[in-house]
Amino acid sequence: MVTIDRLGVRGDGIAGHGHAAIVVPGALPGEVVEIDPAGEQRALRRIVTPSFDRIAPVCPLFGACGGCATQHVGPDAYAVWKRGLVTEALERARIDTQVRPLIDGHGVGRRRVTLHGRRRDGEALAGFMRARSHDLIAVSACPILSPALLRAPEVARSLTGALAASAKPLTILITATNGGLDVDVRGNGPPSDKQRIGLTSLATQLDLARLSIHGDVIVARRAALQVMGKAQVNVPPGGFLQPTVEGEAELARLACEAVEGARHVADLFAGSGPFALRLAERATVHAVESEAAALAALDRAARATPELRRITVEPRDLFRRPLLPQELKPFDAVVLDPPRAGAEAQCAQLAKSAVPTIAYVSCDVGSFARDAAILLQGGYTLEHVTPVDQFRYSAHVEVVGVFAKPRARKR
């Protein structure tokens, strides 16, 4: 028997420290548990003394499905753990700043889901991967999805059956939009003419807004619109989108508050415009993004929304060609929302700039801490960090960090 000391960064129970630490998936701090005697991760055999923070999972597949890690953790302990992911990452990087309370960005649930499609014994199956494996676990419903995605598993199964001839494992991205379900299928390869005809008919039967294969649109029956501030954006097939409506709104609110009063803002890694289109309600915006389809969607939405101030767009790979200090001179503030890898090259140039305010939105606290250290070395202060929880029951957490350069503010 062992006593669990803490929750690890993946939501597993941890007993001991350092090289002697034992990882026990499903166990909670304070619990005395019986575990398997060997293995990198010790299977939980029996809970001898349960934690007061233990609750019943909301899904019967919890523990088997690899999608969620912490459905068994009570809400107060969960919030402490998730905020702790941020504070611990900053402490490891020796960054001292105010970490605000965790904001719940789950709302009504996820508006997009990635399902896997497989054929097994002649049957089409769709679902998620089992915990710590590459085996498929079929699902008929998922409680963390928004009501608009209730049909998602059924849709994924139907598409898997329709593409059975390819005998390939499929990844099926389904997004809830104002026009209905938007589906992008990956793994099949370019569809044949016969497949296109069949898929067009199936899209009608399933009442899909849009169906594409690897971003190649098979049929668009209705516009796959997402509301971003005052604008409506037809996000490209399979394009990046924040996972929840509430989460996007909270991240945008925090970013807009951070740069309030700025007249000219640069939105870097702008995507389809979740920040630019809201920032433009008060400031002119220069949106920079490498994905041409996303940038085109942003530009179309901006032109169709007369209430906004001017938005200019620039296609540019900020990993290879970050904006230089000279190019950053016109801006009162910068908002950036890079991918999980962070924005190391861009932050190195921002550190040399005189931009007064930076709002950094991140989906990875490790890369955020690394980039924050670069900005701090360049004379910025990190005024505060706010965690936002869009990925309920997972180990992922978003943060918005607000940086200021005092010398620039005095000008």
Give kind and range of the element (H or E) at residue 314. strand 311-315
Alpha helices of 206-286 — where are they, by DSSP H?
245-258, 276-279
Secondary structure class of 91 (helix, strand, coil): helix
- DSSP codes of every residue in 113-140: EEEEEEEETTEEEEEEEBTTSS-EEE-S
Please give the angle made by the CA atoms of 370, 10 and 375, to the nearest 5 degrees. 10
**65 annotated active-site:** no
Residue type, 367: S
Residue-wise burial string across 141-180, b where 16 or more C-beta atoms lie within 10 A, e elsewhere: ebebbbebbebbbebbbbbbebbeeeeeebebbbbbbebb
Rounded CA gap, 38 and 228, in Å? 51
DSSP classification of residue 145: B
Cβ contact 29:7 at 8 Å: yes
- 67 φψ region: left (φ > 0), alpha (ψ -120 to 50), beta (else): alpha
DSSP classification of residue 102: P
Residue type, 122: G
- Report which of 73, 80, 170 is spatially closest to residue 389, judged by C-alpha positions: 80
The catalytically annotated residue of 65, 142, 347, 363 is 363
Please give the angle made by the CA atoms of 262, 267 and 270, to the nearest 5 degrees. 155
Question: What residue has token string 């016969």?
Answer: 194
Alpha helices of 64-192 — where are they, by DSSP H?
75-92, 152-162
Catalytic residues: 363
